[in-house]
Chain A
Amino acid sequence: MSSSTSSLEARHRQLGLTDDEYARILDRLGRTPGDVELAMLSLMWSEHCGYKHSRRLLRRLPTEGRHLLLGPGENAGAVDVGDGLAVAFKVESHNHPSAVEPFQGAATGVGGILRDVFAVGARPIAVLDSLRFGEPLDSPRSRYLLERAVAGIGHYGNSIGVPTVGGEIYFEQSYEQNCLINAMCLGLAPHERLIRSAAAGPGNVVVLLGALTGRDGIGGASVLASAELGEGDEAKRPSVQIGDPFTEKKLLECCLELLDRELLVSLQDLGAAGLTSAASEMAASGGVGITLDLCQIPLREVDMEPFEIMVSESQERMLCVARPECVGELLAVCERWEVLATTIGGVTDGDALQVLHRGSVVADLPVSVLIDDCPLYDLRPEPPSSELYSPPEAVLGGGESPAETLLALLRSPNLASRRPVFEQYDPIVQSRTVRRPDEADAAVLALPDGSAIAVSIDGNGRRVACDPRRGAAEAVYECAANLACVGAEPLGLTNCLNFGNPEKPHVAWQLTEAVEGLAEACEALGVPVVGGNVSLYNEAPSGPIFPTPVVGMVGRLPDATRAGRLGFAAEGDAIALVGAFEPSAAGSELSKLRGYAPVGELPIVDAQTLRSAHAAVRSGIRSGALRSAHDIAEGGVAVALAECCIAGGLGASVRLPDGLDPFAEAPGRAFIVAGPPAALEGFAVIGQVGGDTLAIAGLLEVDVSELTSARERGLAEWV
């Protein structure tokens, strides 16, 4: 639509603002906004930037903890890991871009989360990915999305020299139209290098670092294009952004050197809404104003319009504030790293974000209107009155023997070996990796003082669909259990809330319940939320995705050399079951294979019992009493045992406690551990390691080689 035929009133709607929101803008400004201003406001007041439907809810999440250094509100949160070091981390979604172009969408997702981490002054040291697709068997599109997203994540992480050390993948029909691509990054920094994004010091200089600004990601705002631009200009606003890890690698090294030399007052990445959000957030958190001169900004395309420059989402850019006397040295460092650096404005008194173009003011907005006046909406949650998700197609009839059932589970896309995926990621660059994928339940990275950090990412949407509150809590418990298996104690967590349309009452209910579950679990474990991300409107005509809170947790262990492994390690070791384990079939992997819809109550958790089980495993690993530990998650105790056998290349014979359903699930509560029999006194011993088969008394006996090949074959067919 050309601007000559559309009135300004129509435009605010085209830009995604409601009439009420537009009225609010008129009221706050006391005048009509100009074109550039309207573009800026529409983006800052969007769900993505303004968290309109989730901000109030997020206040429920506990954010206090004794290890916390940076909490929500910064580009990434950070916790203390001792020895004067901090670990910053965050998880973020790139769902919608990846559905359009999975390779570049996933790649730029990784690029974006890396920038959030080095924006706080931390060197990115690890990436994890959390992926959701439709069923690979039925859907060529899902196989394509999987293959290309994995290639894109590897491309960016591998090329920039940050190891991808872990992740998770689930396949469920509900993600067929809305795949989820979440990426988490961890960074390491000496405490004194951590930096905030708050701009400060009127008179200081604003410098743009990194890539040229192009017409990337202008999307919706392009309705503002002036009529004079010729035909075909629409084609010049690419709908897909190309990630350039090489440029970001230089940008990353350059930013860290600038910080080490103490040349920066504040630093901020450019993400959604580009310069607009970066500048307004820096100004808002610093209580100052910022003036930008668009003519100074180096452009990739000639003749870009002011609004295009202000909202461009071109990748691999950062904004920083520096004292005037530091600018010379700053530019010299940038030149050495071959990073483009341009002074584009300055910090001012007051609270105006002022934008100049060819000598005239094209925007002059109070930062408070851009940031604080964004309307916040209360959700209207209502539990659904009917089932939201249809049952999956049955793969198993129910008449199979336990051995056949176990093999079917190991082969199923959600449980099969992830090797075809993680072999496309470099997990060892930077030489910190002590436990790589398939060696343990959490990735482990060594620190200079001999200790280590552990990290895990989890979120089983099917269980959250059954019971949003308990399912979300389980994601937290499972992460903590994974950390316990390597001997680590949780320090903090991050989360990404992937949900459907929050304006629908049942999605609002899922969201509210899930946040409550996360909060309860955090409180139960005493772990703070250091930050996160929200992705809403993941919805197809057929309905919303499974509610999918993804949790990433970071912990610490005192001695890297004692990091736990999951595989059975020695013939003759005793095997014990740790934890109160009362699993249920609802929401289990087997229930899915049998064609049951995701409904039913999940088992309750007694926080005290859970914590003491985690503590027992953690201390057993730390002391060396345990030679392996593995939490019992999807597929229940039978699958957990099989995984211990496969990873160790050793058999086992066990007798399960009476009445324990071998395939029922209660993630996060219980563990399979093994160690020398004398060391396992006081544990509930259920058998011993040895032989070439997994034998569960009265139930099944299968060759370890057969278990291995079932598990290895599963995904290999699709990747």
Chain B
Amino acid sequence: MKFGIVRFPGSCDDIDALQAATRVGEAVLLWHADHDLQGVDAVIVPGGFSYGDYLRAGAIARFAPVMAQVEEFAREGGLVLGICNGFQVLCEAHLLPGALLPNVSLKFVFRQVELEIVRADTPFTRARIPGAPTPRLSIPVKHTTGRFYAPEDELDRLEAAGQVLLRYAPGHNPNGSLRDIAGVCNELGNVFGLMPHPEHAVDPLSGSTDGLTIFDSMRAHVEQHVLA
């Protein structure tokens, strides 16, 4: 199982994502200007401030050459995970529904938040912590532009279609996201974006290993469906 982590100018959590993915499989960096996904089984678009977040978060990165390959990979059913800035990039690229707006506080927020897994039967959430009564994850958020927005009817549709995979637990919404949405997937279910940073919750030294759920799930899915 090989993960590819896209590196844009201004990516900051790329090495973090690489190290996290390395805990469950192999991982390589994918350079923004290349047209090559190096045969990876899953793509991670990491956090950071690609292109300085100038103009709009994710707006410029989505046109990087490598993104054409990522889009094609996604159309063919490949797993694509967008974390924070990666989520913003995938929304801008229309691989995911909705948009991310500045936090209601208008400030950057770093916080360890509790998340509820809405669906535990997806390629990104299937490895939820065994035996946990309510499947909750403790994962940090850190962003200025993380308020998930979509028009009301679109939100209804997303919920009905089961595309909302993660919600901030009551009282934990750090940014004013509509319906406490922390992470959504596309219709096919193979592209997933979330504002919290699972790659920063994979080591007991950092206080939580709940983020491994996401990476473990991806590996399980790939091993079952792609490599099998």
**A–B contact via C-beta, under 8 angstroms:** yes
B206 in complex: contacting residue of A151, A423, A424, A433, CB < 8 Å? A433
The answer on a CB contact under 8 Å between B142 and A246 is: no
Pair B49/A424 contact, Cβ less than 8 Å: no
Chain B positions 52 through 88: 1 when the CB is less than 8 Å from some CB of chain A, otherwise 0: 1110000000000000000000000000000000000
From A101-109, A158-166, A170-178, A186-194, give the one contacting chain B: A158-166
Check B200 against A245 for contact (C-beta < 8 Å): no
A431-B16, A431-B200 known; A560 vs B205 contact (CB < 8 Å): yes
Q: 0/1 per residue, B128-148, Cβ < 8 Å to A?
A: 000000000000101010000
B109 at interface (Cβ–Cβ under 8 A)? yes
B51 CB-CB contact with A under 8 Å: yes
Q: Which residues of A contact B53 (CB under 8 A)?
A: 159, 246
Min CB–CB distance B223 → chain A (angstroms): 25
Nearest chain-A residue to B31 (Cβ)? Answer: A336
The range of chain A's interface size is: 20 to 34
Shortest CB distance B186–A (Å): 27
- B15 touching A244, Cβ below 8 Å: no
Task: List A contacts of B19 (CB < 8 A).
Answer: 431
Task: Give B1-25 interface residues, CB cut-off 8 Å to A.
Answer: 9-13, 15-16, 19-20
Give the residue of A155, A422, A423, A431 whose beta carbon is less than 8 angstroms from that of B203. A431
Q: Do the beta carbons of A250 and B9 come within 8 Å of each other?
A: yes
Among A410-440, those with CB < 8 Å from B are 422-431, 433-434
Instruction: Tell me which of B108, B111, B197, B203 contacts A158 (CB under 8 A).
Output: B108
- Beta-carbon contact of A246 and B10 below 8 Å: yes
Measured in the bound complex, the distance between the Cα atoms of B61 and A246 in whole Å is 13
Closest CB in chain A relative to B29 CB, distance in Å: 12
List B contacts of A422 (CB < 8 A): 110
Q: Is B48 an interface residue (CB 8 A)?
A: yes
User: Is there an interface contact between A159 and B15, defined as CB atoms closer than 8 Å?
Assistant: no
Complex partner residue of B108 from A246, A338, A426, CB under 8 angstroms: A426
In the assembled complex, the Cα of A155 lies from the Cα of B142 at a distance in Å of 12
Q: Output the nearest chain A residue to B11 by Cβ-Cβ distance.
A: A161
Please provide the chain A residues from 192 to 248 with a CB less than 8 Å away from any CB of chain B in the complex: 244-247
Q: Complex Cα distance A74/B204, Å?
A: 37
Q: Residue B15 contacts which of A151, A155, A430 (CB distance < 8 angstroms)?
A: A430
Chain A: minimal CB distance from B178 (Å): 22
Per-position 1/0 for B35-59, Cβ under 8 A of A? 0000000000001110111100000
Asked if B16 contacts A430 (CB within 8 A), the reply is yes
Q: Are B52 and A246 touching (Cβ within 8 A)? A: yes
- Number of A-B pairs whose CB atoms are under 8 Å? 83
Tell me which of B10, B33, B107, B206 contacts A431 (CB under 8 A): B206
Cross-chain contact A245 with B140 (CB below 8 angstroms): no
> A244 vs B15: C-alpha distance in the bound complex, in angstroms?
22
Q: Specify the chain B residue showing the minimal Cβ separation from A431.
A: B16
Shortest Cβ distance from residue B217 to the other chain A in the assembled complex, whole angstroms: 20
Tell me the complex Cα distance, A120–B139, Å. Answer: 35
Q: Shortest beta-carbon distance, A563 to chain B, in Å?
A: 8
Q: Within residues 154 to 210 of chain B, which ones have a CB less than 8 A from any CB in chain A?
A: 197, 199-200, 203-206
What is the CA–CA distance of A267 and B111 in the complex, to the nearest angstrom?
37
The chain B residue sitting closest to A452, CB to CB, is B205
Task: Check if B110 sits within 8 Å of A246, measured CB to CB.
Answer: no
Query: Is the beta-carbon distance between B49 and A428 smaller than 8 angstroms?
Result: no
Interface pair A246/B12, CB less than 8 Å apart: no
How far does the Cβ of B2 sit from chain A's closest Cβ, in whole Å? 20
Nearest Cβ in chain B — how far from A11, in angstroms? 40
Q: Does A337 contact B (CB under 8 A)?
A: yes
Query: Please, how many angstroms separate the alpha-carbon atoms of A250 and B48 in the complex?
Result: 13
Distance in angstroms between the alpha carbons of A155 and B206 in the assembled complex: 23
Q: Are A561 and B10 closer than 8 Å at their CB atoms?
A: no
A154 touches B108 (CB 8 A): yes
In contact, B107 and A424 (Cβ under 8 angstroms): yes
* Given contacts A423-B111, A424-B108, A560-B205, A429 and B12 within 8 Å (CB-CB): yes
Mark out the residues of chain A between 501 and 546 whose CB falls within 8 Å of any chain B CB in the assembled complex. none
B149 to chain A, nearest CB (A): 22
Question: Beyond A245-B49, A246-B52, A337-B9, is A429–B16 a contact (Cβ under 8 Å)?
Answer: yes
A44 an interface residue at 8 Å Cβ cutoff?
no
**Once the chains are docked, how many angstroms separate the CA of A159 from the CA of B12?**
8
Q: Quick one: which of B86-131 are within 8 Å of A by CB?
A: 107-111
Closest Cβ of chain B: how far from A536's Cβ, in Å?
33
Residue among A158, A337, A433, A560 with the most chain B CB within 10 A? Answer: A158
Give complex CA distance A246, B109 in Å.
20
A249 touches B200 (CB 8 A): no
Partner of B49, one of A158, A338, A425, A430: A158
B47, closest chain A residue (CB): A429
Q: Give the complex CA separation of A246 and B49 in angstroms.
A: 8
Bound complex: CA A144 to CA B13 (Å):
31
Q: Which residues of B contact A430 (CB under 8 A)?
A: 15-16
Say yes or no: is A454 at the interface (Cβ < 8 Å to chain B).
no
At the interface, yes or no: A70 with Cβ under 8 Å from chain B? no
| Partner of A161 from B48, B51, B107, B204 at Cβ < 8 Å | B48
A151 to chain B, nearest CB (A): 7
Q: Is A431's CB under 8 angstroms from B15's CB?
A: yes
B17 → A minimal CB distance (Å): 9
Interface string of A34-75 (1 = CB under 8 A from B): 000000000000000000000000000000000000000000
CB distance from B23 to the nearest CB of A (A): 11
Q: Please indicate the chain A residues that have their CB under 8 angstroms from the CB of B206 in the complex.
A: 428, 431, 433-434
> Which of B10, B11, B20 counts the most chain A CB atoms within 10 A?
B10
Contact among B20, B33, B52, B109 for A245, CB-based, below 8 A: B52
The contact of B142 among A158, A249, A336, by CB within 8 Å, is A158
Task: Please tell me if A446 contacts chain B, counting CB pairs below 8 Å.
Answer: yes
With a CB–CB cut-off of 8 A, which chain A residues contact B10? 159, 246, 249-250
A425 to B111, CA, bound (A): 10
Complex-state Cα separation, A96 to B214, whole angstroms? 47
B49 close to A159 (CB less than 8 A): yes
Bound: A429/B52 CA distance, A: 16
Q: How far is the CA of A146 from the CA of B5 in the complex (A)?
A: 37
Beta-carbon contact of B9 and A246 below 8 Å:
yes
Q: A426 to B109, alpha carbons, bound, how many Å?
A: 8
Q: Which residue of A lies closest to B53 (CB)?
A: A159
Q: A249 CA to B200 CA in the complex, in Å?
A: 21
Set of chain B residues within 8 Å of A423, measured between Cβ atoms:
109-111
Q: Please give, as numbers and ranges, the residues of chain A lying within 8 Å of B197 by CB-CB distance.
A: 428
- Residues 568-619 of A at the B interface (beta carbon under 8 Å): none
Q: Are A424 and B9 in contact (CB under 8 A)?
A: no
**Contact present for A338 and B9 (CB under 8 Å):** yes
Most buried by A among B47, B107, B108: B108
A35 CA to B76 CA, complexed, in Å: 66
Which residue of chain B has the shortest Cβ distance to A561 in the bound complex?
Answer: B205
Looking at the assembled complex, report how far the CB atom of B97 sits from the nearest CB atom of chain A, in whole angstroms: 27
Q: How far is the CB of B66 from chain A (nearest CB, A)?
A: 14
Contact A428 B12 (CB under 8 A): no
Given known contacts A151-B107, A159-B49, A561-B205, is B15 in contact with A246 (CB within 8 Å)?
no
List 28 A-B residue pairs with CB atoms under 8 Å apart, sorted by A's residue number.
Answer: A151-B107, A151-B108, A159-B52, A161-B12, A161-B48, A161-B49, A246-B49, A246-B54, A249-B12, A249-B49, A250-B9, A336-B33, A337-B9, A338-B9, A422-B110, A423-B110, A424-B107, A424-B109, A424-B110, A427-B110, A428-B206, A429-B200, A430-B15, A430-B16, A431-B20, A431-B200, A433-B206, A561-B204
With A246-B49, A424-B108 already in contact, 13 other A-B pairs whose C-beta atoms are closer than 8 Å? A158-B49, A159-B12, A159-B53, A161-B12, A246-B10, A249-B49, A422-B110, A423-B110, A425-B108, A427-B110, A429-B12, A431-B199, A431-B203
Interface residue ranges, B against A (CB under 8 Å): 9-13, 15-16, 19-20, 33, 47-49, 51-54, 107-111, 140, 142, 144, 197, 199-200, 203-206
Chain A residues proximal to chain B, CB less than 8 Å: 151, 154-155, 158-161, 244-247, 249-250, 336-338, 422-431, 433-434, 446, 560-561
Across the A-B interface, the 4 shortest Cβ-Cβ residue pairs: A161-B12, A246-B52, A159-B49, A431-B16
